[in-house]
Amino acid sequence: MPETDGAPRYVEPLLGIVFDLDGTLILSHHDFARMRKEVVRIAELHGVPPGSLDPTQRISHLLDLARETLTAANVPEGQIFRMETEARAAIDAIELEALPRTKARAGAHELLSALTTRGYRLGVITRSAEPFCRAALRRTELLDMFPYLRTRSAPGPAKPSPEALRLLLREMEVPDDRALFVGDHLIDAECATRARIRFYGILSEPPDDDGMTVERFVAAGAAAVARDLPELAHMLGVAPSPTTLAPAT
């Protein structure tokens, strides 16, 4: 029976945990500013009026707006498709440049090994492309712990669409009410809350003055917030207690 107040219903114990990738499990330092500038440059080459795209906006928003603009100008679908293909190829190439400096976040191996040993089903959902995702997980020796991956290369919706998270959980055969999503960004919180999936926030490493805070995560719907992965391990009951941040109420 659905709860009358409309709040998500969660069931214990957890069965599956989905992680965001970059910033949550790994640190790769993507050049997002360059990616956005490339998207704008390519969109303008295909007919988007110069100056109509703001290179500080999300890449997904820039691509959506470029498509809308070209469609409204009656640009043929084939040209719009070429624009999107070229933009995504440029993004993928810049993303792969970050691979040599990619490393696992402190505590990732211990946390994931403990969760795997206890039988949790683990998945990754990321805005990264499939080649980078797999290469980064392999480089950081985390790939074997993730039988389930959903990247921006997958067909269908991508994060932050709630359906992207639901599709991954169906593949994992984890009911929504026994799932947890862990991420370090506002779009992770938005994705989880829109999908009505329990969400734990994790703060940036190193701390980001312009990033998420405990207060922002709580306001976005986080059930709890961890300072780092060892603290998250304690929250999930798979590690001894460190100095902790209190779970959000």
Residues 207 and 164 in one domain: yes
pLDDT tens by residue, 16-70: 999 999 999 999 988 989 999 999 999 999 999 999 999 999 888 999 999 999 9
Say if 9 falls within a structural domain: no
Q: 224 is in which domain, residue-wise?
A: 16-28+103-235
The reply to whether 120 and 80 lie within a common domain is no
Query: What residue ranges in 28-173 does DSSP mark as E strands?
Result: 103-104, 121-125, 148-150
Q: How far apart are CA 125 and CA 162, in angstroms?
A: 11
**Domain shared by 161 and 175, yes or no:** yes
Summarize pLDDT for 69-109 with one digit per residue, the tens: 999 999 999 999 999 999 999 999 999 999 999 999 999 99
Q: 89: which residues sit within 8 A by CB, 6+ positions away? A: none
Whether 6 shows a pLDDT value over 80: the answer reads no
In terms of DSSP bridges, do strands 148-150 and 26-27 run parallel, antiparallel, or are they unpaired? unpaired
Within-domain flag for 41: yes
| Residue at a domain's end among 66, 97, 128 | 97
Contact 27, 40 (CB under 8 A): no
Closest to 186 (Cα-Cα) out of 170, 208, 206: 208
CATH assignment of the domain containing 115: 3.40.50.1000
* Per-residue pLDDT, 206: 72
What's residue 247's pLDDT?
52
Secondary structure (DSSP) of 66-91: HHHHHHHTT--HHHHHHHHHHHHHHH
Environment class of residue 6 by beta-carbon count within 10 Å: exposed (0-12), middle (13-18) or buried (19+)? exposed
* 167 and 71 part of one domain: no
Under DSSP, is residue 127 helix (H, G, I), strand (E, B) or coil? Answer: coil
